[in-house]
């Protein structure tokens, strides 16, 4: 499954992506706000094998973000699928990303969740120290509905995303 925008695409993760995913997750420039992983490529491949079963059952979806020239530049995951909402995270973009890869990948995730899965809203959490991502989501129209010591919890509607996309049409 591939969703494409002006400069990037997202596609489902494959076992062959294990080295790339691990390189992102172990890189200190990108992993500050992510859960720790084993540095073992075999363990990453095994995780992907298990994940593919979840993908088939519609429990979660893990994507590689690529530039249109085929260069991988990130990951993003849709998970915690509820009756009326989906969560997304594990969002990493490296130095090979395009200028608007963050916007484009977010809109592709929302397209997947709203159009492909049929939801009208999304929920997600962001670690409190991750100020740039919090600003990104609030500018997109996300509303903070809760918090704890570690995370801020947000929700965004399909309507808010469509409005943000309209306002940013000149960039993507």
Q: What is the pLDDT of residue 125?
A: 95
The pTM (predicted TM-score) of the whole model is 0.93
Segment (H or E) for 73: strand 72-79
Higher pLDDT, 25 or 105: 105
Residue 29: pLDDT band (50, 70, 90) is confident
Which one-letter DSSP state was computed for residue 157? E
Q: Residues 112-128: pLDDT tens digits?
A: 999 999 999 999 999 99
* Tens-place pLDDT, residues 73-99: 999 999 999 999 999 999 999 999 999
pLDDT at position 100, please? Answer: 95
Position 33 pLDDT exceeds 90 = no
Three-state DSSP class for 91? Answer: strand
- b vs e for 89-112, b when ≥16 Cβ sit within 10 Å of the residue's Cβ? bbbbbbeebbebbbbbbbbbbbbb
């Amino acid at each position: 499954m591939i969703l494409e925008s002006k400069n990037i695409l997202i596609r489902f993760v494959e076992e062959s992506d294990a080295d790339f995913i691990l390189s992102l997750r172990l890189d200190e420039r990108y992993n500050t706000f992510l859960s720790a992983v084993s540095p073992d490529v075999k363990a990453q491949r095994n995780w992907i094998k298990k994940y593919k079963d979840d993908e088939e059952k519609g429990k979660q979806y893990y994507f590689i973000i690529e530039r249109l020239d085929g260069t991988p530049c990130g990951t993003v995951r849709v998970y915690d699928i509820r009756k009326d909402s989906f969560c997304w995270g594990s969002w990493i973009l490296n130095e090979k990303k395009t200028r608007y890869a963050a916007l484009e990948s977010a809109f592709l995730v929302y397209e997947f969740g709203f159009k492909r899965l049929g939801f009208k809203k999304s929920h997600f959490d962001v670690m409190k120290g991750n100020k740039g991502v919090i600003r990104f989501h609030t500018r997109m129209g996300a509303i903070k509905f809760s918090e704890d010591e570690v995370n801020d919890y947000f929700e965004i509607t399909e309507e808010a995303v469509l409005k943000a996309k309209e306002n940013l049409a000149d960039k993507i």
